[in-house]
Amino acid sequence: MSGDGTAKSEPGGADYDELISSIGRHRETTVLWPVKTDADKGNRLHQAYIANLINAIFTPGSVRDFMHGSFAGPGAEYENLNAFMGQLRGFFSQNLGSAMTDAPMGAVDGDLIEQARNLAEFERSFQTNSARYQKSEKPNPEAIYWPDPTHQDHPSSLYETLPMVEKFELLDKSTPVGSAGSCFASEIAYYLQDNEFNDVIPESDEADGPRPESSARWGIIFNTPSFKQLAEKAFNERTMPKLVEYHPGGQYWQDPFRENIPFPTIDELEANRDPHIAACRDAFETCEVFFITLGLNECWEFRPDGAVATRY
C-alpha cells in the first residue's frame, strides 16, 4: 500500500515495535485537545489521540495496522482533526483506485473496502453528532437546553418551555391504552378514565376502590422483575406459585404477588386465579399504548421458584 509519502512502519519491524511502545506509554493519559504552545504549529493532535482515533474508526486487520504505522508513528503531526481526516481520505482515494483498476478479477482487497466504509460511517456519525446542539435545525430550538432562567446565553422559563424537540402524537381518546406500576400509574389510570380516554379495563372490582387503578387486578408494582413476571404469567411463560396471605390491616386475603387486591375468603381468591391471568393477557393484547411507572422499593424473591413480590 502507499499513502501520501509519509514514513511507513511494517508489522514486526523495529519502527513498528517503537510505535506500539510509544502508544503504550500514552495509554494512561491521552490529550484530546492540546493547548496552543507554538504560534507557528497551532494545536497539534496528540500522538496517542491519533492512535485511539484509528482504533475507533477501523476494525482490526492489516489496513488498521498500516494506519498505525503510517499515520500515528513517532513524529506524526496534524494541525487538527480535519487535517488528519483529509490524510485518511487521500490514502483511500489513492489505494482504492489502484486496487479497483489493477487487481486481478476476484482479488480486490476486501479489508481495504470495508475500512473505507468504516471511515465514511465514522464521518457521517461525527457530522451528525457535532450538530446535536445546534439550534438552527431543531423544530423547537429552545428544547436542546435545560430550561434555566438564569443561563447567560440561553435563558428560558421552567414553566413555558416544553422539554422536547418535537411533539409526537402518541395517542388520542380512541387509542386503547393501559397502565401498570407504582401509584403514578394509578394516577394516570384515573386521569384516563376521568377524561374519557379509551382505558382498557378487562378486569375490575369495587373492592379495589371507586375506580380501577390498573387495566387488570394485578395490584401495585414497583420494580422491573415484578413487571417482567406479570407479562410472563399473562402469556403462560411462567406458572405462579399458589400462595395466599392474610392482610391484618385490611382484614382480607391476598395473593402476595398482587399487592392490595382484597378477597374476603381464600376460596374466592383461588377461583379468581385463572380468570385474572386471562384478563392480564387480554389487557396486553388490546392496548396499543401502555404506561409503565416503576419505583424504588425493595424486591423479594420466593426462593423455591424465583417468583418475586414487589415488596413485603
Tens digits of residue pLDDT in 237-261: 999 999 999 988 889 999 999 988 9
- What pLDDT is stored for residue 106 in this prediction? 54
Candidate ranges 24-28, 166-170, 253-257; pick with highest mean pLDDT: 253-257
Q: What average pLDDT score do residues 2-8 get? A: 39
Query: H or E element: which one contains 231?
Result: helix 224-234
236 confidence band (pLDDT: 50, 70, 90): very high
Whether pLDDT at 29 is above 70: no
CA distance 87 to 4: 7
- Over range 264-274, report the average pLDDT: 95
206-241 core/surface letters (b: 16 or more CB in 10 A; e: else):
eebeeebbbbbbbbbbbbebbbebbeebbeeebebe
Only one residue has cell 470495508, namely: 114
Q: Report the pLDDT averaged over residues 45-52.
A: 82
How far is residue 167 from each of residues 138, 162, 274, measured CA to CA in Å?
12, 9, 41
Integer Cα distance of 115 and 55 in angstroms: 11
Amino acid letter, 132 = R
Q: For residue 45, which amino acid is it?
A: L
Nearest to 144 by CA among 168, 166, 162, 165: 165
Cβ atoms of 58 and 111 within 8 Å: the answer is no
d(CA 85, CA 91): 10
How crowded is the C-beta side of 192, counted as CA atoms within 13 Å? 29
Average pLDDT over residues 61-83: 86
Cβ distance 291 to 187 under 8 Å?
Answer: no
Residue (of 13, 29, 94, 91) closest to 54 by Cα position: 91
How many angstroms separate the CA atoms of 180 and 217, rounded?
10
Of 130, 121, 133, residue with least CA distance to 92: 121
Q: Tens digits of per-residue pLDDT, 81-137?
A: 888 999 999 988 888 777 666 656 555 567 888 999 999 999 999 888 888 778 777
What is the tens place of the pLDDT at every residue in 278-300?
999 999 999 999 999 988 778 88
Q: CB neighbours (10 Å) of residue 45?
A: 21
Contact between 244 and 253 (Cβ < 8 Å): yes
Task: Give percent of the chain above pLDDT 90.
Answer: 40
